[in-house]
Structure 1
Amino acid sequence: MDTMRDRFAPTLTRILDEDPRVAVVLAVIGADAFGEARRRHPGRVIDVGIREQLLIGAGAGLALTGMRPVVHTFASFLVERPFEQVKLDLGHQDAGAVLVSAAASYDWPAGGFTHMAPGDVALMDTLDGWTVHVPGHPDEAETLLRHAVAAGDDKVYVRLSTQSNTRALPVDGHGFLTVREGRRGVVVAVGTTLDAVLTATEHLDVTVLYATTVRPFDAESLRRATDSAGTDVVLVEPYLAGTSTPAASEALSDRPHRVLALGVGRRELRRYGTVEEHTAAHGLDPASLRERIGAFLGRRTAAA
């Protein structure tokens, strides 16, 4: 199966053909995949070189002229390194753009910590007005990219991953999907964590919600799920653990509730290893999730 990033360039090339307002801004990474698009649209495929601050600034400049820029590189170079430009050139000037990242969290362990950005969504949370999509399958990535580009002049962050669930679900760029219904707790699985969550909770009497659009946070769906499943909530996120805890707690602020936040830990793993080894080390593999979720919710969650 191809990856989300494999889908990115072909999908965006088709969008460039369809919409003369769209432009793509790159910083070397991914540029080879846009060779044909550059030949067809030489003025709308821009490579600024290894200059990440300029990458964001150029995107903002295009937005201010009425273009719809799609800006792409690794997450650590798209969100963390040029964060001041994201805050000022886009946010302060209220300029809309679509930021599309790759290799977030630990998708490329051999690249080392310089190429990891598990705190990207938490960092974007410090800014106002951003929509954040976290697809869990290449088909979903294609759908959500199209949603992002079509979102007028909004500010949108699309987080691509080399990891994937086995099948795509009909995401709409808005709310959570109910994948399984239960009575003894709610588990929110974000993006590529869904398969592991479903395996881990197979014999637990819990509701599983699937989230691919995490900002704005779908408070209504979470509240509706807790009406029948109770207010014990587990958040499983493929980035920094606890990123969505404030949003979940705010959604349930008028109800006594508990939240268990599972995700990428703060401790830096200094050995390259594999993606699977990093997943297990952060407790996001099915066995670890089963133990942690079961301990939090208690034996009473076992399905009859």
Structure 2
Amino acid sequence: MTTLDTATMREVFAATVTEALDQDPRLALVLAAISADLFAGPLRAYPDRAVDLGIREQAMIGVAGGLALAGFRPVVHTYAPFLIERPFEQIKLDLGHQDVGAVLVSIGASYDNPAMGRTHQAPGDVALIDTLPGWTVHVPGHPDEAATLLTGALAADNRVYVRLSARANTAPHPVTGGFVPVRHGSLGVVLAVGPTLDAVLAGTEGLDVSVLYTPTVRPFDRAGLRAAVESAAPNVLVVEPYLRGTSAAEVAEALADRPHRQRSVGVRRDLEVRAYGTPQEHDAVHGLDAAGVARAVRELLVW
């Protein structure tokens, strides 16, 4: 039996939304077959605001837009490629152009389950959402963080993307909306996003660099990065569990008035991995393991 203390992010999501549906009549749940078993209770109890559309992802976003226009707070859920990539036009128009709020919650991350193949991988999801204005993007690194971020998103009115993962750091960190200092150093700053923190801490062990952590990448905490750079050399490495360089423009904007160097570690843009393998093997290919982070930090610090 799974308890909340040992639950995955996906299980925490289901428990959090189920409780919120019981308490808040404005919440609505829209599924496309995925995780329907976790929401069997709400689907029975609230047929007027909890619906499983089957494998109809474009319709799922359209229904969410209609619910939002009718005054509901829709929560929309499936695998990342089916939530962001496949119905992107509907996200752009039915939510963004109509200026209505919703909470999009994905699972699968970049390659949580490589055995499912490329169809279930979405390393470009955050970069794609980043082309649209007005989105908050959360990438929790621990189930406890996911619960806090989801609770806040459900109570708000804006457009929120919550990127859940089957992988997590060993311990949660404070959810502040900004960057949390985890380690202090003088030669540079490493920003760890969501579930990359454990690899970052292992890869920077013994190196004189600061480590910042965040489970929220949009809005980007430009002030927090500037503050960290004030007490360290202006060398910045962003370690992000999706497409490499997704936040490069944000770093450049944050430090636009001062010389700096930056690098990114993330899913490589120059390589399509066609082998199934394991998530850990994919990490190694993309440099997202501890060895890859250590290598990137040393390259950054060599002038």
Instruction: Give TM-score, length-normalised by structure 2.
Output: 0.96
Q: Does 1:69 align with 2:56?
A: no
- The residue number in structure 2 matching 1:302 is none
Deviations 1:78-126 (A, max 9, x none): 0000000000000000010000000021111011111100000000010
1:248 maps to what in 2?
251
Q: Does 1:50 align with 2:50?
A: no
**1:19 matched to which residue of 2?**
24
- CA offsets, 1:269-303, max 9 Å, x none? 1111111111111111101211221121149xxxx
Distance 2:301 2:207 in 1: 9
The aligned length equals 297
Q: What is the 5 A alignment of 1:1-20?
A: 1-20=6-25
1:133 aligns with: 138
Determine if the alignment matches structure 1 residue 94 to structure 2 residue 77. no
State the shift of 1:39 in Å. 2.5
Match of 1:238 among 235, 238, 241: 241
**Separation of aligned partners in 2, 1:122 and 1:254:** 25
CA distance in 2 between partners of 1:113 and 1:104 (Å) = 12
Distance 2:280 2:120 in 1: 17
User: Where does residue 80 of structure 1 map in the other structure?
Assistant: 85
Question: 1:218 aligns to what?
Answer: 221
Shift of 1:194: 0.3
Matches within 5 A, 1:70-219: 70-151=75-156, 153-172=157-176, 174-219=177-222
1:279 equivalent in structure 2: 283
SS at match of 1:203: coil
> C-alpha deviations, 1:155-202, integer Å up to 9, x for none?
000000011000011213x11111111111000000000000011111
The counterpart of 2:36, out of the listed 31, 38, 51, is: 31
1:262 match:
265
Measured in 1, the distance between the counterparts of 2:278 and 2:125 equals 21
Q: Answer yes or no: is the 8 Å Cα contact 2:138–2:161 preserved in 1.
A: yes
Q: Whole-Å Cα distance in 1 between the matches of residues 127 and 231 of structure 2?
A: 30
Structure 2: distance between partners of 1:38 and 1:71? 14
Are 2:141 and 2:215, in contact at CA under 8 Å, matched by a contact in 1? yes
Aligned residue type for 1:132: V
Letter in 1 for 2:189: V
Cα distance in structure 2, aligned partners of 1:76 and 1:265: 17
Q: Deviations over 1:211-240 (max 9, x none)?
A: 111001000000000001121000000000
In structure 1, stretches of 5+ residues that fail to align are 300-304
Moved over 4 A (4+): none
CA distance in 1, matches of 2:175, 2:298: 28
Find the residue that maps to 1:127 and give its secondary structure.
coil
Task: List runs of 5+ in structure 2 lacking aligned partners.
Answer: 1-5
**In 1, Cα distance between the equivalents of 2:179 and 2:51?**
35
In structure 1, C-alpha distance between the alignment counterparts of 2:231 and 2:12, rounded to whole Å: 38
CA distance in 2, matches of 1:244, 1:121: 9
- Does the Cα contact within 8 Å between 2:191 and 2:239 map onto a contact in 1? yes
Determine what percentage of the aligned residue pairs are the same residue: 62
3-state SS in 2 of match to 1:229: coil
User: In the aligned structure 1, how far is the partner of 2:89 from the partner of 2:17?
Assistant: 26
Q: Deviations over 1:136-162 (max 9, x none)?
A: 0011111111111112x2000000001
Q: Distance in 1 between matches of 2:61 and 2:115?
A: 26
Please tell me the residue identity of whatever aligns with 2:166: T
Distance (Å, rounded) in 2 between the aligned partners of 1:143 and 1:235: 24
Cα distance in structure 2, aligned partners of 1:68 and 1:36: 19
